[in-house]
Each structure stands twice: as structure tokens, then as C-alpha cells.
Amino acid sequence: MNPKPNTGNSAKRLSWQAWGIIVAAIVVIGTLWVNKRKNPAGSIPSPHTEWKDFGGGPDNSKYVTFTQIDKSNVAQLEPAFVYSTQGDPTNYRFNPIIVDNVMYVLAKNSSLVALDATTGKELWIHANLQGIIQRGINFWQSPDKKQKRLLISMKNTLQAIDANTGKSILSFGDHGVVNLRQGLDRDPSLISRATSTTPGHIYKNLILLGSAPGEGLFSGPGHVRAFDVITGKQVWIFHTIPFPGEKGYETWPKEAYKYVGATNTWGEISVDEKRGIAYFPLGSPTYDFDGADRQGKNLYGNSILALDANTGKYLWHFQTVHHDLWDYDLTAAPQLITVNHDGKKVDAVAVASKNGFLYVFNRVTGKPLWPIVETPVPQSSMPDEHAWPTQPIPTVVPPFNRHVVSVADLNPYFSPEEKAKWTARVEAAHTGLFEPPSDQYETVASPGSVGGCNYGNTAADPDKGMVYVMFQELPAFYRLRKRSAPGEERRGFGGRRSGVVREGKALFTAHCQVCHGADRAGIAGGGPSLVHIAGKIDSTGFKGLLSQGRGRMPAFPHLEEHDKQAIYRYLTASASGRMRQGAEQASSGLPDGPVVASGGAPMPEGADAQGHMEAYPDDYTGPKVEYVEAHNWGVGVSNLMSPPFSGIAAYDLNQGTIKWKIPLGDDYQHGLKGTGTPNGTQNKGMVVTASGLLFATCKDGKLRAFDADTGKLLWEYDLQRRSPGGIPAMYQANGRQYLVVCSTGPTSDTAEVETDVPKGYIVFALPEK
């Protein structure tokens, strides 16, 4: 007998039981979610909740989901503690890494220091890592968090340090060292530099690396690579100067892969972890201003390059400058955002350039979201030079920099004498976007090669489709002249290596004498005396000073390592042996504190040898580079044009518009407020929060917080003109939100005593309740 179906009260009881099960399930799921949010230990963190990479997270957005500090209380921020670097000879521009309540910083004469992130207490010190790149390091950990590694680049090598103990991991590479001059498919003995000036990027068990091989003729190739973080083995390489049979080979002379240099990523790499896509911003080929020996478009120079992060397989590219003659590198982190476009959600990538444009693409396909039009540009007057006839110009997304310099654009605050001088020079020059340099006349480019947007200068609110760009209006005057000495285009002014001191004197005369005097004794109102510099700073600190700049002193980012070393040797050649010995002892002695190791892994013999390709291959018969830029990368004038001299532009890429644009900083040298700071964004950065804040550093020595929606200034903190370096970082520890800023340069405030101004890693938080 078949039972009858349940009806009436029985059915109602079953219905209520079902609802009860559903409600209970929802409660359980909700509780698990809340617990996971409160206690993420042992789970994979959500994006933007840790600062374990240079630039915050894999996407390099400098964005965090923290909301404890918001628009209503940001004005209450105050220093929670300072990890001091007072007495340290080096001006660091370091981006700290913070993981599991431990902060890793560079201090104590280029030592790596692990700190308690809530107190600043030293946990361990790996001392004397001379030659380590100063902008940051890489952090990797195993899924169970038992293995933690710091990957560092120094002296043409890649090394691994145990993040728990601070000691070198000697099972990595060859007894702890990977020689980066090897594996580039070119004779290692002819490669002088193979490390980058910016740390790479961790993806799974790989470290993705670019390089900074130099800016001159016959510099090493800038091929991008990936290495295994456990073994140090090179896993893949992508030839940015293509080999025969590779895509893009036809855009160069047939032998170019043997002698052309750079085409490198020395800036920030971004990774779409979900899709396994790595985005590399690439710089220009060498030599920068004379492309006679590299006729063609020159792929992948000046391109955003998307590769499979696992294999290095090509996915897509877009070249922002064809056959670059202006050193318009891509260096800033490509920003990975999601936007509403044509009625659909689109995952996009936006990359800002030194040329003042922001380019926006579909992140997967590489298709521009708005038209980028090949536009005719001026042609070159130089022999054997073939400037590309068109350049890609965005048509909807507005530029963040000005592109023409006219007399009407000159700084209205110039004295009559200055105005007359610059008026005559501008009127005599050829100007305009992509005007090729010439030996017949000066050209003035806006921005110049160190203007526009540089490394560290982009950030984003990824889900809102907002991209923030730091920029500086820094035009440059160029003029080419015939080479007068072999190798001059890569060594600057001054002959061959055998006369290092003589070479250093020539470089000093060209770059330093105007401020420090022919006798090196300093000039009133200008630079200080350099007579006894050997007892004040070692060669590593001095080279960092030239790269970074300090106070009123500009940076010289295009001087190569041996140029900087030559200047230092010239300055110290007449110093007493006691002074030189004191500087050497300072760099080799151990600092105070819990030192666990010194010097990194033992350096294999020859690992730091610096050879250099001196001539074209024997079978090369094409045109050769015959001209150099007469002023060694131009005459940059940071306050030539009317304000703003530097600023921040906020792009709403749902619309392709600039939502707001503001000056950043004050021109304290000339007593001007709200004008932006000349050269104000170099080596500076931002942090964006989910609570609607944008924090920014500036060369004028102030830390500021803006309303990310409007650009309104909400808070500023005076670092007393001690210019901060590197990108600020934000983290949470023990339930408290912190902001850390590296502020290690000298104060330029003459009213202050140097030792009275906080110097080091300044950590801010809200007052404890």
C-alpha cells in the first residue's frame, strides 16, 4: 500500500525545519567569515591587508583596506615611535616591509634591521650589506609561514636572508649567491651592471627581476627574468631586445641584440595574482639621444609588457614611444584597476610615463580602452638618424603634464635678470612634444627625462577605478655634440678608466663645481665644503647621495656607478690616510645592537667584476652612435615654468577624466606657498586607504594627508625640511594602524640644529585610548 503524501501540518513542520537549517547555516557561515576577518592567521590574507611587497601588495597599488584612520580623525595622527638613523652617513630612500609585526628596514651604514613593528625594538641586524640596492627588498614565505626569506640585490648578485634569523641562506644559488651578470645570453665579462635600482616582485615561488644596466652606449641588455626563491635557479628569461626568430626582431637592425643595451625595467613591476600576469614597464634603449645604430621602432623599448608570470611567455605589449630619443622610460607601477566602461565591468591596467601621458588598456587583451592615435611628429635633422614619423597619443584621457614651453609659460616669480636669461634661451630653442634633439640648435622638452611621472609616483583605489599620479613639471634643454673621446657617452666627461682621479675631476667640474667651488671649499649660499668628505661619508653613502639628492642638491640619476666612484676618488685623493682609514673602518665595523651576521653571503671571486663592451661587433657595418648630449642628459630646470612645479592628478578611469588636480608642496627656497615643490616628487610616493585618505610625501619635507575624493588637504606634518625618501608604508599590528615614513636626509632648515630634528623611520598612529 503506497503511503499518501504529507499534507497540512506535517508539510508546515518540514517547511519550518528547512528554514531553520538555512538560517543556522547562514549564522555559521557569517561567524566563520567574521572570525576569519578578525584572525587571519593561518589563512591566505585578503588583498591589500599587508605591506609585504615594495608598493604594498602584488598589484603595487599602495592601497590598504584599513579604516581605523579616517577623514574625521586623521588630524590627530602623531609619531608613535622613531627608529633613529642619527649619525648614519647614508641618506636612505627605503620602502619598509612589514609582516607579522616585524618591520624590515635599511639603516646603520647599509645594514638590514628587523624591528618590532609596534615599538621599534631591534630584533636582529645583518650588518654591512654594502652595495645593496636602497629602495627596498623582497619578502617570501611558505604557506605554513615557517620559512620566511628576504631576497636582496647587491653588487650584481641576488641573495637570500632568513627573515627569522637574519642570516644568509647559503643553500641559495652558489653558496648563497646568484651572479646576475650570468644568464643574460651575452658575454658576462662585458656586462658591468645587472642589478636593478628597484626591487623585483614575488609571485608564488618566483622572484621577477628587472635591471639597471646603465644609460650609455654598450650598456648591458635589460632582459627581464624570473628566479626560484628556494634554489636561486633562473627559471625563465624574456629578451627585451629580441633575438632572431623572436617577435619584434624585425623592429631593429639585424645584429642589434648583440650590442644594444638597456630596454630594461628599472622601475616597479605589478602582478595580477589571480590571472598570473606580470606587467613590466620598460625603459628606452641606449644610447638615449642618438639612435643611429638602432634604426626602427625598437621593441620592446618604452613598452608596457604583459607576460605569463609562470613561464615568461609573451601575452601582449604596447609601445608608448617609438625609437625613443628623449629617455622617456616607463618606470612607475602599472596600476591594476576595475572600471565601468561602455556599460561593462572591465579589468584594466593604467601606466603613467615620464612623457606626461597616462595610457589605459584592457588588462587581459592589451586593447586600449580609449583610442590612442598615431600622430605625425617632427623629424630629425641629424645624419643617420631616422626618428619614427608618428608617436602614439592618447585622445580621451588628458595628460598630467604640459608639453610645450613658451615665453608665456615662464615662471612669473623669476627676477628680471632670470626672466631675461630664460626668455632668450626659450625663444632660441625648438620646442614641442617629441621634437628630436639636434647639434644645430637647442631643443627644450616638457617634461624632460627626469620630469613627468617616475618610480613610486602612482597609486590606486583599484575597485573604484581611481588612479593617482604624482608628477613634476621639469623641462630640459638638450643639444647634441660630436663625441670627442671613446666611451664618452657612457662615462660622461673625462676620458678612459686608467685616469680615475682625472676622470673624477672632469666630472666634478661638469656637475659639482658650480655649487661647491673649484677648490671644493663650498660657496656661500650654495653647497658645503667637500674638502674633508672622506671622514664624513664612505663611497657607498656618497654614491647614494648622488643618486638621491639632498636638500637643495639635485639628484644625478644618470651618472653611472663608476662615474660616482670616480668623483668620490677625486674628492678623497688628497685626504689624509687617517681620514680614508676612518671611512673604511666605519664601513667594515659592526654597529651596536643584536648583530647576527655581516656582509651577506661570501662573494665568489669575480662576481662583482665590472667589464664593459667597448666596441661594435666585428661584423657590424651600419651607422654608429657619433653624438652625445652636450650637458650629460640635458639641463633640467625644475622651476622654469609657471606653477605648479609638482602635483597630484586623480584620474577617474570610469570616465577617462581627471577628477581633481592639485599642487604638491611649497617652494620653500623662494618663499612660495601652494606652488608645488620644484623636483618635489622624485623618490617620493603615496598610500591610499579604504577610508578615503591619500597620504603623500614631498621633497619640501612635509607629510600630507588629502581627501582622496576631492584633493582637499586634511593634515600635514612638518618633518622640518628633512626630505623623506622612498615610498611610505601602512600596516596594522596588535589592532593599531600605523604609517611609516623614511626620513633620513639632512634637514635644510637652517633654523634647526641637525641633531634636534628626528631622523630615521618615523612611525605615526592615532593616540592610544
User: Which amino acid would we find at residue 300?
Assistant: Y
Say if residue 257 is preceded by a cis peptide, omega within 30 of 0.
no
pLDDT in tens, 528-548: 778 767 655 656 557 656 755
Distance CA 583, CA 575 (A): 11
Q: Give the residue among 320, 332, 400, 322 at the shortest CA–CA distance from 359.
A: 320
pLDDT in tens, 472-527: 999 999 999 998 765 555 543 333 333 566 667 767 766 787 577 777 776 655 56
Please state the rounded mean pLDDT for residues 339-350: 98
Res. 669: pLDDT tops 90:
no
444: cell is: 627644450
Distance CA 352, CA 360 (A): 9
pLDDT of 569 reads 77
Q: How far apart are the first and last CA of the chain?
A: 74
293: cell is: 645604430
As beta bridge partners, residue 359 has 351
Q: Is 18 exposed, middle or buried (0-12, 13-18, 19+ CB in 10 A)?
A: exposed
pTM of the predicted structure, to 2 decimals: 0.86
Q: Give the residue among 759, 48, 94 at the shortest CA–CA distance from 461.
A: 48
pLDDT of 483 reads 86
Q: Residue 30's CB: how many other CB atoms inside 10 A?
A: 10
pLDDT of 497 reads 37
Distance CA 503, CA 749 (A): 34
Please give the sequence-ordered ranges of beta strands (E in DSSP) within 405-503, or none if there are none: 430-431, 443-445, 458-461, 466-472, 476-478, 480-482
pLDDT in tens, 132-166: 998 999 999 999 999 999 999 998 999 999 999 99
Distance CA 448, CA 458 (A): 18
Q: Are 184 and 263 in contact (CB under 8 A)?
A: no
Domain map (residue ranges) of the chain: 7-39, 51-93+686-769, 374-483+625-682, 484-590
What CATH number should be reported for the domain whose range is 484-590? 1.10.760.10
pLDDT in tens, 240-266: 999 999 999 999 999 999 999 999 999
Say which DSSP state 681 is in. T
The DSSP string of 724-755 is --S--EEEEETTEEEEEEEE-SPB--TTS-GG
More confident residue, 493 or 233: 233
Buried b (16+ CB within 10 A) or exposed e, 145-168: eeebbbbbbbbbbbbbbbbbebeb
pLDDT of 502 reads 63
